[in-house]
Amino acid sequence: MNPSSQYPTRRIEPPHHNHQSSPPRVQSIYDRPLGGNGGTRPGPAVSLSAFALLYSELVQYHQNKSSSMNDLEGNLERCGMEVGTKVLELVSFRERSYKRETRLMNILHHLSITIWRYLFGRSADSLERSMDNDDEYMIYDDRAVTSSFCNVRSVDAFVSGIIAGVLNASGFGARVTAHSVSAGGDEG
Amino acid sequence: QIQSFFALTYGAIVTEIISDSQTVQEVNDRLESMGYNIGIRLIDEYHAKSAVVVGSGQPCMTLKETADAIAKIGFKMFLGIACDVASFAPDGRSFSLYLYDNPLTTFVELPPPEDCEGNMDLSQMQFSNIYCGVIRGALEQVNLRVNCSFVRDVLKGDEVNEIRVELKEVLADGAGEDYQEE
């Protein structure tokens, strides 16, 4: 349209919504509404036992692959890291908290309240700062779903991985481990 | 309230299995055997809870009753979803379960075939194959040896998820001849 331009261009019309030019496509997840507003349609209620059985299979699968407890925790954390990155985006959208958390205390509060509630149905019991180390914090959860039927707490390493994933995706480097003071521990 | 966490955990499981497997069939088989392990434990909880739900706790006498129990009680109890039974074969030895909502696939889409590399054509993966294993494992504990497979899958473009359950053999009770007392 601009004759003096070196790069002849043609105006592109905005796409029509009847999609007549595109081939018929399989209905995919991208076509469905995003389901914002904290998920207005309450989904089916998955029972705790279904989750516990599934989670125990995840742990057993890793147990077969690992040679030691540390290995197992490391593997579970690795799995959790990937989930954590996605959880941050998902929760930001669903809970409509569109502002990015750039301060440490804010992201920790966001984690222990909003993200915890989204994942587990209730907020964490408390968020505390360690007396010994300045950069160490603890998120306490008395009834963690991941170890609801388990004696050891190291299976919570998956949740540690999720926390680490969220923090890393927000730009905070962190090392997260799970401890049993009936707790999940967090080192910043 | 843990639906999302449930779906995310399952996604992590599938991701891990894919990275450990060489072919899509291997992925499907591992998911099925994982479901089998779950099924053999799930049946106990089912029995404990369904006695309260159904009231009488009577065992199922026909395959049709079993199918109804799986669909109406089992899926509802553990996943909270509605499930229909249909397509009973004329000889009465197989049936289909229709699932409309699948909590495992809340965040999932299968990659299109052109995006897959090597011999892992993930567009052919049975993402929810764990259900087939759960059904097979649970029924084996009540002496029904079945084969379960996905016939139709929403992830692949169908309108419903359809699991075909075929009865292979009714197993005998007991621990076998070796353990019989003299």
The answer to whether residue A82 neighbours chain B at the CB level (below 8 Å) is yes
For residue A11, the SS3 value is: coil
A chain contacts of residue B157, beta-carbon cutoff 8 Å: 26-27
State whether A46 and B41 contact (CB < 8 Å).
no
Please report, rounded to a whole number, the percentage of residues in chain A having pLDDT higher than 70.
77
The answer to whether residue A140 neighbours chain B at the CB level (below 8 Å) is no
Handedness of CA B22, B131, B92, B41 (dihedral sign): positive
Our CA-based measurement puts residue B59 at a distance from the nearest CA of chain A, in whole angstroms, of: 22
Q: Which residue of B has its CA nearest to A87?
A: B8
Cα B65 to Cα B167: distance, rounded to the nearest angstrom: 13
The answer to whether residue B47 neighbours chain A at the CB level (below 8 Å) is no
C-alpha triplet A93, A39, A34: angle, nearest 5°:
60
Q: Which residue of B has its CA nearest to A119?
A: B5
Q: Which of B78, B105, B156 to mutate to test the interface with A (most CBs of A within 10 A)?
A: B78
B chain contacts of residue A124, beta-carbon cutoff 8 Å: none
Measured in whole angstroms, the distance separating CA B122 from the mean position of its chain's CA atoms is: 20
The ipTM value here is 0.88
Rg (CA), chain B: 18
Cβ–Cβ < 8 Å for B161, B102: yes
Asked if pLDDT for residue A188 goes beyond 60, the answer is no
The answer to whether residue B135 neighbours chain A at the CB level (below 8 Å) is no
Instruction: State the pTM of this model.
Output: 0.84
Average pLDDT over residues A117-124: 87
Measured in whole angstroms, the distance separating CA A35 from the mean position of its chain's CA atoms is: 17
B chain contacts of residue A122, beta-carbon cutoff 8 Å: 1
The answer to whether residue A50 neighbours chain B at the CB level (below 8 Å) is yes
The answer to whether residue A166 neighbours chain B at the CB level (below 8 Å) is no
Within a 10 A sphere around the Cβ of A152, how many other Cβ atoms?
Answer: 12
State whether B37 and A43 contact (CB < 8 Å).
no
Our CA-based measurement puts residue A170 at a distance from the nearest CA of chain B, in whole angstroms, of: 19
> Which band of pLDDT confidence, cut at 50, 70 and 90, is reported for residue A26?
low
Cβ–Cβ < 8 Å for A54, B16: no
Going residue by residue through chain B (182 aa), what tens digit of pLDDT does each one get? 888 899 999 999 999 999 999 889 999 999 999 999 999 999 999 888 887 666 556 777 788 888 888 888 899 889 998 899 988 888 888 999 999 889 999 888 888 887 666 667 888 899 999 999 999 999 999 889 999 999 999 988 888 999 999 999 888 776 666 666 65
The answer to whether residue A52 neighbours chain B at the CB level (below 8 Å) is no
Which has more pLDDT, A38 or B133?
B133
Interval A49-85: pLDDT, tens? 899 999 999 999 998 888 888 888 889 999 999 999 9
Q: Point out the residue among B2, B4, B9 whose CB comes nearest to the CB of A58.
A: B9
